[in-house]
Chains A and B, each alone.
Chain A
Amino acid sequence: MSTETMTAKDRVIKFLQGEEIDRPPVFSGMGNVIKPVLDKNGLNFARVHRNPDQMATAASGSFLDYGFECAVIPFDLAVEAEAMGAVVNYYDDVDGMLYPTIKGKCVKTIDDIKVPDDLSKAGRIPIIVETIGKIKEKLGDDCAVGVHILGPFTMLGQMKELDDLLEECFIEPEKTNAMMERVSSVIVDVFKIYKEAGADYLILREMGATSDVLSPNSFKNLVKPHLIRIIKEMPQPNILHICGNTNFIVKDMVECGADAISVDQKNNTAESREKIGDNVIMCSGFDPIAVLHNGKLEDVKPGVLEKWDGANAVMPGCDLWPDVTSENMQAMVSALKAGRPDGS
């Protein structure tokens, strides 16, 4: 007999607000477009990023068909950079699924970062806004709608040569800071637009700040101040997600002030919990490629359950790779809905 007493939306929101919930939510802060849903609805991956009806259908499918308790948009990482003038390749003529990318590097100096007068009308931002509304029409108050935006370092690294950016950070940090500041303002303003449009929770994804690329010291001095500012100004509830090996910076992540932090499969969450204490909401990521996409059906349950150690919720460590099977999706959702293996 089910002991569930909340809707998926309430569960996600109350979880992020640190309130009592009937069980941990089964959700994500990253994209959840999957091929079984695209195929079922006759949708084309390259076109789904620009059509609110199609994007809403694709995002809602993992809730409607599998009980995954969120609809997260957008599916690609180029929306806000595009709104600031970057040209995006959607790979319309490519067979298979390629995520849109920014064509070339469009920023050398701060003057190249063009902030539109009205961000709500810039690029695909109105499409995301319309999609939020359409998801709400489809799912009502049953399911939580999440919207993610890249962090300032990662977004700047999309628009400016990463090597140049890293060099400039050292030689002329004031220039980099000015650019990060401008991009951060855009991030805050766009988050407000998405919240106003009805987003239930917001995710700041700063994957470029992984410890493979930036030293913990560089993260602390260069990226963290901007994340603190964004999180202070952006609406709630919110999640800060950084992928890769984040054990060295997990305390800094917490100090950025988000309602929850999210880490991926490379983080040792038991070790992180030791560092951050018991009062921080930490979502632990399982490997969406190795476990969910490549894993055999019988491997999915143990693959996701092993990530409970030290975590308040387990979720995909990154976007779901769309080519996942229906069976593995079902196995993942039911394994996580059953809660912690020890029942705690």
Chain B
Amino acid sequence: MRLVQIAGYLGSGKTTFLLALVQKLAENDKKVAILVNDMGEIPVDGKVMEKAGMKVKDIGGGCVCCTLSGSLMNTLLAIGREQNPDFIIIEPTGIAVPKNITELAQRVSKKVEISFGATITLFDTTRAEKLVTYDTLKRLISTQIKDSDIVALSKVDACDADAIKFSKEEVAKMNPNAEIINLSTKEGVGFEELASAVMEIEVSA
């Protein structure tokens, strides 16, 4: 099974993208499992996904450094052994940043076969200036972007060319190696490209 992480700030369009993505994967006969976690839960997203027919598993709470990690590890093992989906999608939320989840999955990969797909962060172009200038937001945003293979500039249908250019430049400063894709799930912009990347990209962890 291939582990794909999709991160992004609240309201960046993750749920809309995830719904479209899992539908696309299902059309391609791919089995998908989704893990949700937080220091609390994200029940709304989880419920939306369940309604869309995806297998959603909650991994409980606890400190992300160990108790949550233990739950995630056990859940990855159980899913790998019992369901063996083609893709397992994790939305790193709260303080669970992508690199920590990758480190943890590396440990599990010794016991169950896991390959590592792209880590994708959605960056909301409509709020770009706020995201890169608010000191309190910048740390979490830049941590997510630095950990990413692909950054999708989301909601490009709702902003002008200057905002997209600004977003692209700021993201490139934070992670010069990330591929940057314009995305509007609603309008179909960049969606096929991103879905293909999910299906095709395998990275060395």
Interface residues of A (CB under 8 A from B): 30-31, 76-78, 86, 89, 91, 96-105, 154, 157-159, 161-164, 166-167, 169-171, 205, 207-208, 210-215, 217-218, 222, 243-244, 264, 287-290, 293-294, 316-323
Contact = CB atoms under 8 A, between A and B. Distances in A.
A207 B41 contact: no
Contacts of B66: 287-289, 316-321
Given A99-B68, A99-B71, A243 B136 contact: no
9 contacts: A163-B10, A163-B11, A164-B10, A213-B95, A215-B139, A218-B139, A289-B69, A289-B107, A318-B63
Nearest to A155: B39
A323 B107 contact: no
Contacts of B60: 91, 97-101
B94 A157 contact: yes
Interface string B24-40: 00000000000000111
A170 B65 contact: no
Interface residues of B, number: 42
A88 B140 CA distance: 26
B40 A103 contact: yes
B61 interface: yes
Contacts of A214: 136, 139-140
B1 interface: no
Nearest to B133: A170
B54 to A, nearest CB: 18
A323 B68 CA distance: 13
**What are the 5 tightest A-B residue pairs by CB atom distance, in nearest-first order?**
A98-B60, A101-B61, A163-B10, A99-B62, A318-B66
B130 A167 contact: yes
A208 B134 contact: no
B64 interface: yes
Given A294-B107, A319-B63, 7 more contacts: A77-B39, A98-B71, A205-B63, A215-B135, A318-B65, A318-B66, A320-B66
B67 interface: yes
B128 interface: no
Nearest to B78: A96
B43 A104 contact: yes
A76 B61 contact: yes
A102 B136 CA distance: 24
A99 B61 contact: yes
Given A243-B65, A264-B65, A317-B65, A162 B71 contact: no
Nearest to A222: B136
Could you say which of A86, A97, A211 has the most chain B C-beta atoms within 10 Å of its C-beta?
A: A97
Contact of B134 (A78, A170, A322): A170
A78 B134 CA distance: 29
Contact of A322 (B64, B70, B138): B70
Contacts of A91: 58, 60
A154 B68 CA distance: 15
